[in-house]
Amino acid sequence: MKLPYRWVIVGAGALITCVAIGAMFSLAVYLQPMSAATGWSRAGISSAMTLDFLTMGVAGFGWGAASDRFGPRIVVLIGAVLLGLGQVLASRAASLAGFQLAYGVLVGVAAGAFFAPMMATVTTWFEDNRGLAVSLVSAGMGVAPMTISPFARWLISTYDWRFAMTIIGVVAWALLIPAALLVRRPPGAPTGIPLPGPIAAAVGTDLSIAQALRSPQFMVLALTFFCCCAAHSGPIFHTTSYAIACGVPPMAAVSIYSVEGLSGLGGRLVLGILADRVGVKPVLVAGLLVQAVAIGTYVFVHRLGEFYALSVDLGAAYGGVMPLYAVLVRGYFSPRIMGAVIGAATMASSIGMAFGPLAGGWAFDTYGGYGLLYIGSFAVGLGAVAMALAFPPLPARRERLRPA
């Protein structure tokens, strides 16, 4: 039986998000050995991740709009080339500023080329099982801590951080470039070019990008996405370093990150299926509440077993809610502007993500611990729950034109 091509798109998207996000987030694994080898402060190194999130957000909006107009394949292909280049150049940085420029700007620009275009593409391939499909693509992010991060940790332990970062860049080229060639729009999909009036009305392309971004639906979505990511970015990024500071061996500390990724994979699948069955909003609110509670609990965790237990809860919660934002966008807005709207939402989330790594590094450098980070992140997480409760109801499902 021939596999429908829409599932090929899902598989390619899962691989792309795994390698791309895994390569960028592996900076958490490099943090301690880089600081020890170079003398650079943890706040300085962590700020590269802050720059990553900021540049990824701004670039994501541009990449999303470009994918609407020119198609996702060329956008993802360019991102793949830039991601590997950024990793290789960062591995050869002789100064902290040079590292921040290569890893914090170039890698961030590259990473923005993946999430919005791939999520927009997948949502246009699916009318049914949409929550499951976007969750499977997003599941690549959950696999990354079980693959890319341990691989990077092994390379660091066997060689050094510079060699490890070079190899990760080469692997990104080898895997992402072929996967990008598989990506394409569904036959007959609307593009960013305006359509004639009757056709536009039929496929629901009545809103321009500017109108969509000013709508109450988008404003609530963007604020929720911002608070959600601002809450979990610091705890995720600094989990490995926090565990090491608590006396957990480095390889075991990385395994905590991997368990978090594995539970995030399960959370994406479970919450995606639930969203298809009971609705996106109640599932999102529940997931955000579990996330906030898990983050606050980190203050009381110090042993390896406790880290493992909590990583299951946090991973399932934040991993499960992340793809649901794309489902909401697809429910509120038309496929013609999916890339731009998801890119704009991703920009809001990336600004939120930018706070965590820098705040955690500052807290550790200033107070010698991460307690303040977890307390502040817990409060922001509750804010995300409050914002999610304000989501307006999704519009009734509209009939769309289908190709003959």
d(C-alpha 237, C-alpha 89), whole Å = 22
- Let me know the angle formed at the C-alpha of 397 by 128 and 120, rounded to the nearest 5 degrees: 55
Domain membership of residue 401 (yes or no) is no
d(C-alpha 148, C-alpha 295), whole Å = 24
Domain membership of residue 142 (yes or no) is yes
d(C-alpha 71, C-alpha 152), whole Å = 32
**Helical (H) or strand (E) element with 95:** none
d(C-alpha 258, C-alpha 200), whole Å = 45
Distances (CA, A) of 4 to 8, 10, 179, 378: 7, 10, 17, 42
pLDDT for the residue numbered 225: 93
Direct distance between the N- and C-terminal alpha carbons of the chain, in angstroms, rounded to an integer: 22
Rounded to 10°, the helix 304-321/216-245 angle is 160
Work out how many domains the chain is built from and give that number. 1
CB count in 10 Å sphere of residue 293: 16
Alpha-carbon Rg of the chain, whole angstroms?
20
Domain membership of residue 193 (yes or no) is no
Three-state SS annotation for 256-299: HHHHHHHHHHHHHHHHHHHHHHHCHHHHHHHHHHHHHHHHHHHH
**Helical (H) or strand (E) element with 208:** none
CB count in 10 Å sphere of residue 310: 21
Q: Please, what are the averages of pLDDT over each run of 10 residues along the chain (404 residues)?
A: 80 93 88 91 85 87 92 95 97 95 95 91 86 85 79 92 95 96 82 41 59 90 93 86 86 80 83 88 94 92 89 89 87 86 88 81 82 91 93 59 34
Structural domain range at position 251? 5-184+203-388
d(C-alpha 72, C-alpha 262), whole Å = 28
d(C-alpha 40, C-alpha 124), whole Å = 45
Domain membership of residue 356 (yes or no) is yes
Domain membership of residue 334 (yes or no) is yes
Domain membership of residue 192 (yes or no) is no
To which residue do tokens 């203050």 refer?
299
**pTM as predicted:** 0.73
d(C-alpha 25, C-alpha 74), whole Å = 24
CATH value at residue 223: 1.20.1250.20
Polymer length of the chain: 404
Domain membership of residue 243 (yes or no) is yes
Rounded to 10°, the helix 115-125/5-25 angle is 160
Percent helix, strand, coil in the chain, to 5, is: 80, 0, 20
CB count in 10 Å sphere of residue 127: 11
> Per the structure block, which two tokens stand in for 214?
């000013």
Domain membership of residue 394 (yes or no) is no
Residue 401 region by backbone torsions, left for phi larger than 0, else alpha for psi between -120 and 50, else beta: beta
pLDDT for the residue numbered 206: 62
Cα torsion 18, 254, 224, 109: sign: negative
d(C-alpha 47, C-alpha 90), whole Å = 14
> Per the structure block, which two tokens stand in for 173?
């080229």
pLDDT for the residue numbered 196: 38
